[in-house]
Structure 1
Amino acid sequence: MADLSSPRQGQLRRCAQILGLPVPQSFSWSRFDQALTHRSVDAAYNYEQLELLGDAVLRLAATECLQEIWPEASVGELSAVRSVLISDRSLGQLAQDLGLAPYLLVGPGLTVQPTHLADALEAVVAVLYLETRNLSLVRPWLDPPLKQLAATVRQDPARHNYKAALQELTQAHSKALPQYHTAEHHAVDGAPQRYQSTVWFRETCWGTGCGPTKKQAEQAAAAAAYDRLRQTLDHDPLSAVP
């Protein structure tokens, strides 16, 4: 563990206060310091190991939160919303909004990027988890911003990242990735749905979707495919492995 200087100790305490962290009396300030240290500062003492743990903890916390908010929602919809919540873009923005950036240590000449902030935020989540080995400190802190963003995402279907959720599902079972075949299309009733997309995985078409843009058509196809493919993989996970 690093010996923290008095100025750094003061910085970390201010950071915890600004972030609104629930800091117990036994809080590991050296671990918190490590969570806010980039490998460009120290190749051995940095946030990478904590980030790995924090990613898993954050995924669990977000899943629990979403299932409690919308218990009737499909697995596909919850997974799509979760993929937005825990994306680097969302986490980087959350870290920026919380005021984390000034406290992240990086090497000379390196500019703090949103991905650095996202990684550091995951590491901070790991620090909270390691205090109790459960989510009792993590969820009360993270639930409010996660719920706010989740509501925004669910009200705006264009932000549902079903493609990311479907890719995550397939990568958990196979090295193969879903493939999209998208072409211009017009609905039979005359209402233009400019594009139609089909999503294929392991030489099987799992879903079809239409939309005014290629992106929306592919998202619709991914949404149609997710639950069907998930049920198949859960029933016979080896069937999709090359």
Structure 2
Amino acid sequence: MKISNHRVEEIINFIKGLKLDQKFQKEFTKEKIKNILYINESLTHSSANSEINYENLEFLGDAVLRLIASDFIKNKYPYMQVGERSELRSHLVSDQWLEEVGKKIEIKSVLVIGNKALRDKSANATIQAEATEALIGALYESLTIVEPIKDWLIPFWEEKSKEVLADPHKKNYKSALQELTQSKGLSIPIYKTIEIDKKHDNPERFFCNVYVKNRSIAEGSGKSMKQAEKNAASKALKYFENNVIDQ
């Protein structure tokens, strides 16, 4: 894969911005062009290059991410139950978290994307998340060890862990709502969701109404069906904090 001198410099500066440990920073120089090519591949969307793009590295990054996230949780929260660890890990490896990291490291500024994908605003978040995961895979291919990647990600995980653990429902609102209704002897929540707009970039594309015992409890909107239902469940939990439904 050919790469221009300008692109090489761009990638080197981007890696410097990640603030990896100095002894690993030297693995990304003009002399270590193979590693630069790995990073470039992780930043290339399939719309720009159908043969060499971030899909394979994304697959690798997923495995690396899950491994080191599990290790982080085990060391940070040694007394946490296995089920709680799994729930926390789901947040620390989620597409939403990957997108947040992508924004913080400004990965969008170095992505290579085809014009069609570039115009699809609804795909921006997904591409940033996928590329961030691919970047993790590329770092592993380059360094062949997980420790520097883990050290780089720990501050992001610590911030996210505090956010998730501060929430009594750990942001799994649908599961929390179902547990709550069952504990009160009520029926399982029913979600009725409709698409109100075909535009993918509309943050209120889907509308959801959640019912308990055939009674509308709360409403929620979102750019996806999943997001709309999650928002509706969150509002329903708040409803039950101040209201009671007879069995």
TM, length-normalised to structure 2: 0.65
Per the alignment, in what secondary structure is the counterpart of residue 158 of structure 1? coil
Fraction of identical pairs, as percent: 28
Whether the 8 Å CA contact 1:88–1:118 is kept in 2: the answer is yes
Residue 59 in structure 1 maps to residue 66 in structure 2: yes
Match of 2:233 among 204, 215, 229: 215
Q: Tell me which amino acid in the other structure corresponds to 1:99.
A: E
- In the alignment, which residue of structure 2 is the partner of 1:5? 4
- Which letter maps to 1:130? E
Matched with 1:46 is: 53
Cα deviation 1:182-213 (Å, max 9, x = unaligned): 8967948xxxxxx5649xxxxxxxxxxxxx97
Kept in 1: contact 2:47–2:116 (CA 8 A): no
Aligned-pair distance for 1:148?
A: 1.4
- 1:108 deviates by 1.1
Q: Secondary structure at the match of 2:130?
A: helix
SS of residue in 2 equivalent to 1:109 = helix
In structure 2, the residue matched to 1:33 is 40
User: Per the alignment, do residues 109 and 71 of structure 1 end up closer, same or farther by CA in structure 2, a change over 3 Å counting?
Assistant: same
Matched, 1:120 2:120: no
CA distance in 2, matches of 1:123, 1:81: 22
- Residue 82 (structure 1) shift: 1.0
**Which ranges in structure 2 are unaligned for 5 or more consecutive residues?**
190-216, 219-231, 238-247
Q: Give the one of 22, 25, 49 matched to 1:23.
A: 25
Q: How many residues align?
A: 184
Residue from 108, 121, 125 that aligns with 1:101: 108
Q: C-alpha separation between the residues in 2 aligned to 1:183 and 1:97?
A: 36
Superposition CA RMSD, Å: 3.2
Q: List gaps (5 residues or longer) in structure 1.
A: 165-179, 189-194, 199-211, 220-242
Equivalent position to 1:145, from 146, 156, 159: 156
Distance 1:93 1:181, change over 3 A: closer
Partner of 2:92: 85
TM-score (norm 1): 0.66
List per-residue Cα deviations over 1:63-89 (Å, max 9, x = no partner). 100111100001111111111111111
Give distance in 1, aligned partners of 2:48 and 2:139: 23
| 1:91-135 superposed Cα distances (whole Å, 9 cap, x missing partner) | 101110111111011001323611111111111111121234321
Given residue 115 of structure 1, which amino acid in structure 2 is its aligned partner? T
- Structure 1 counterpart of 2:8, one-letter code: Q
CA distance in 1, matches of 2:26, 2:82: 35
